[in-house]
Amino acid sequence: MCLPKAHPAPHRTYLPSLAKESPEVLQILEEIRSKSVSPSDEDTVSDHVHSLVIQHAPSEGVEILKARYDSELSRAMSRISSLGIALGYGAGAVLLIVALVPVTCCTDLPLPSGWL
């Protein structure tokens, strides 16, 4: 039997790009830029070269910042993902409660004691 190849979850491919825009991650990236890019080169570095700046950063201090960047990026992705899940569940619960109102108002069936 031939099973299809497992692909990475395509619904989560936006998380890294959202996490790279979080203030904590941008702050660490700015620290890396300040240590790895000379002042004359700063104008040529665009905001969309996160990986290039991090890959070509030279010193030992920058290595520590790289580890902090990776850690903070992972935390930001987890936070965004958790917030999305929580909002989804919360919205589902609210809609179930809202849907309960017309059902209880429009039926003649008695509710069990203690429901409302």
Domain-wise residue ranges, the chain:
17-106
Q: What is the pLDDT of residues 14-70, one digit of tens each?
A: 888 889 999 999 999 888 888 765 545 444 445 445 555 555 556 677 788 888 999
Q: Who's near 61: CB < 8 A, 6+ residues apart?
A: 35
pLDDT cut 90: percent of the chain above it? 32
Closest CA to 27 of 68, 83, 55, 58: 68
pTM over 0.85: no
